[in-house]
Each structure stands twice: as structure tokens, then as C-alpha cells.
Amino acid sequence: MIPVKNNYQFEDMLDKHQLKKTAPRLRVLSMMYSKNTATSQPDLENVMHDIDRVTLYRILNVFEEKGIIHKVFDLDGTANYAVCHSDCEANHHHDEHVHFNCTVCKNVYCLNELSLPSITLPAGFKPESFTLYASGLCPKCDKKNSVK
């Protein structure tokens, strides 16, 4: 779990990445840090009615570009975003960990402690990204399942 940061820390983060400290950016940051799962743009739209789509889209894009959040797809192929744990830099992410996609709640979890195995591709293939995800029941859904 990521320790919840306070607003001053979020302001510092934006400063550090040379981003203007706007209220919507701060809200998106604090929302993403408060969750232990990845968040999609529709998730954000549902809780932040006053921020328009285009603004949200731009915020997610610039955060990803700056190395604050990384993109991961859920089982429906929707882009979700999770806070970066590794020291990611602008346009250069190091989030080489396994992701878990829950088939019930559809949440995507970063398994930060599970790093990806290194693979060697056949000659001639030049990798730019490599993802590995597991799917099944997350601890929350598994608990609900066994209570029944």
C-alpha cells in the first residue's frame, strides 16, 4: 500500500515535474493515491463531475508522460492508470511488475513486489514493452465468494 500523501506533498510532486498546481490535477493525484487499485478515466468522471472529459484526459496524459502514473489495461481493454512506484522519469517508465486483473470487480492491482522475469526474444525482435498479468479473484472478491 502506498502511504497517503497530503496536499502539500502533491503540490511538491507537481512542482518537481514542472507542472502548474491546478485544483483538478491535485484532486486527480489525491484520488489516485487514495486507492490501491488502478483507476480508469470513466472512474474519475464518475466522482469528479465538475471536471470535464478533455481536462481529465489531458491530466492523465501529462501525468503518464511525466512518469507519475503508468497505464495498464483491464480485462475489457479499458485503459487504467496506477501511481508509479519505481523512479519513473519523463517518457521513461520502469514499472516492471506483474498486474492482477480481477474477473469479478474488474479492478487492476499493481503487484509491485513481483518483478517481471527477463525474457530473450528471438533474434530480430526489438522489444519496447513487456507486460505480464494474472487474472482471477482479488482478495476482496475471494472473501465475498467464500462467505456465501
Shortest Å, Cβ 57 to Zn ion: 19
Ordered alpha helix ranges (H), the chain: 7-16, 23-34, 41-47, 53-66, 139-147
14 Cβ contact list (under 8 Å, min separation 6)? 20, 21, 25, 26, 29
Which among 17-25, 50-58, 104-112, 127-135 is the span making contact with Zn ion, rule CB under 5 A?
104-112
Question: Contact region for Zn ion (CB under 5 A) — 18-26, 109-117, 119-127, 128-136?
Answer: 109-117
Q: Smaller CB distance to Zn ion: residue 13 or 82?
A: 82
Residue 82 found at the interface with Zn ion (CB under 5 A): yes
Least Cβ distance, residue 103 to Zn ion (angstroms): 8
User: Which residues fall within 8 angstroms of residue 139, CB to CB, at 6 or more apart?
Assistant: none
Q: Which residues of 90-124 are buried (b: 16+ CB within 10 A; e: fewer)?
A: eeebebbbbbbbbeeebbbbbebeeeeeeeeeeee
Nearer to Zn ion, 17 or 93 (CB): 93
Q: Which of 105, 115, 143, 145 binds Zn ion (CB under 5 A)?
A: 105
Under the binding rule (CB under 5 A), the answer on residue 141 touching Zn ion is: yes
What one-letter code names the amino acid at 128? E
Question: Which of residues 44 and 110 has its CB atom nearest to Zn ion in the complex?
Answer: 110
Residue that is written with C-alpha cell 512518469 in the block: 67
Q: Give CA–CA dist 117/133, Å, rounded.
A: 12
Smallest distance from Zn ion to CB 52, Å: 26
Interacting residues toward Zn ion by CB under 5 A: 70, 82, 84, 88, 93, 95, 102, 104-105, 110, 138, 141
